Structure 1
């Protein structure tokens, strides 16, 4: 699935080069807060995933209005899908770690 997101992003970047006459900058990925704890890292990651979902929704609404480029929508959906898959993988690892801790003998 990451290959699809990469391909869609590359296609959008190439299309933007022709449209704007230069490279279009991708939105920066959120970075974890320096010196923060796990809770703040998790919170910022959830906020980032939520923002990706909102961007996807906004792109979908502009397509409904007939004003958006399909490539932008595909890119937004791919980014949102990747973020959600990452969230599910982290959730699975947290549950696995919790279960491992519960199995430890005291």
Structure 2
């Protein structure tokens, strides 16, 4: 079981995925409201951060198998990857729930 400090460290490491950090640098595109955040860019950045966390965990796992890394680093990388995936799944679930609610609205 992870300690609260460990969990806080894992969440801090993926802090770049958080909406607060992404919304500080809005990307204006032709379809986006001027000065407003671009939702697709927000999701793209979250996907990239999740994939990067997975790659880091894979690299650390390979390093420990070769005897070049400490097991603590592997556990930390895997926990960070797991937190990123859980965050992404939670966002996906909320988007699906919002879509379903919109579809239930009377026209």
Calculate the TM-score normalised by the size of structure 2: 0.73
**What does the per-residue CA deviation read over 1:73-99, in whole Å, with 9 as the maximum and x for residues that have no partner?**
010000000000001100100000000
Unpaired stretches in structure 1, ≥5 consecutive residues = 11-25
Structure 1's consecutive aligned runs of 4 or more residues displaced over 3 angstroms after TM superposition are: 3-6, 26-29
C-alpha contact 2:13 2:80 (8 A) present in aligned 1? no
Calculate the TM-score normalised by the size of structure 1: 0.74
Cα gap change, 1:69 to 1:48, in 2 (>3 Å): same
Q: Following the alignment from structure 2 to structure 1, what is the Cα–Cα distance between the partners of residues 49 and 70?
A: 23
Unpaired stretches in structure 2, ≥5 consecutive residues = 28-37
**What does the per-residue CA deviation read over 1:39-77, in whole Å, with 9 as the maximum and x for residues that have no partner?**
101101100000000000000000110111011001000
The answer for the alignment partner of 2:69 in structure 1 is: 68
Q: Following the alignment from structure 2 to structure 1, what is the Cα–Cα distance between the partners of residues 82 and 46?
A: 14
RMSD over aligned Cα atoms: 2.4
Q: Following the alignment from structure 1 to structure 2, what is the Cα–Cα distance between the partners of residues 101 and 83?
A: 27
Using the TM superposition, give the Cα deviation of residue 29 of structure 1 relative to its aligned residue in structure 2, in angstroms.
Answer: 3.9
